[in-house]
Amino acid sequence: MNRKEISIKYIPQLEQKPQDEIIYSLTQETEPEQVDCVNWQEYPYAPEVLVHLAYSDKALVLLYKVKEEHALGNVLENNGPVWEDSCVETFIKDPIGEGYYNIEVNCIATKLAAHRLSRTDFELFSDEKLSEIRCFSTLPHQKTDLKDQEWMLLEIIPFSVLGLDKAPESLNVNFYKCGDNCRQAHFLSWSPIGLPTPNFHCPEFFGRILFGPKGC
C-alpha cells in the first residue's frame, strides 16, 4: 500500500493575514489534495473533499472544501463528539515524542483536539491550548442540518501546539472526512488505510508532507 507524500508551499506570515486573504492565497497559490480513499466498501458514499495546504514560519494552514449531500452540525461545545457530525480531521504524528495528535472539526467549526498514544489512551487539549488552533467555517456556529451543501473550513495549527518552535522538515499526517450520524455514514482518508474496519487512529498508515523551501 502506497502512502502519500507531497511537498507543501511556504507562504510568509500566512497565519497573520485576514481570513479571506488566507483563503485567497491558498486557493490561488496551492494545488488541492483529494481526500477520496474509500477504505471500507460497506461505506461507499464519498462526498467531494479537497484540502489545500501551506505553511508559514509559525503555523501549518489547511483549507478543507467539502461538497456533500448532508451537512450535519449538532455538536456546539468543544471536545465533544464532533466525529458524529460532518467532520474533517487532521492527524499528525508527534514530531518530538511518542504518539500522535488528532484535530477534529465539524462543519460549524466546533473543535476537538488531543494527544494520543492510542485510540483509547489520550489527553484532551485544555480550553486554552485548544484556542490556539484557529478554525473558521463558511457555515454559522449553530445547529445545522442541510441537504446538498458546500462548505469550507479554514484551520490554522501553530507549530507550538505540536511542541515545535519552527517548521519541521516534514510531518507524518493523514487527513480524513467522516460523518458517523450523517444520512450516509462515511469514512474517507487522504492516504489509504489497510485495516478491516473503520479506524483513523493508525499512524502506521499516515502519509507525509514535506515543507518546501522558503522563497519558492
154 φψ region: left (φ > 0), alpha (ψ -120 to 50), beta (else): beta
- The residues spanned by each domain of the chain are 5-195+202-211
151 φψ region: left (φ > 0), alpha (ψ -120 to 50), beta (else): beta
Residues 105-115 have pLDDT tens digits of 999 999 999 99
Residues 151-168 have pLDDT tens digits of 999 999 999 999 999 999
Side-chain-facing half-sphere of 210: CA atoms under 13 Å: 6
pTM: 0.97
Residues 56-74 have pLDDT tens digits of 999 999 999 999 999 999 9
CA distance 12 to 215: 9
Topology annotation, domain 5-195+202-211: Immunoglobulin-like (2.60.40)
The secondary structure of residue 159, as a DSSP letter, is G
How confident is the model at residue 214, as a pLDDT?
87
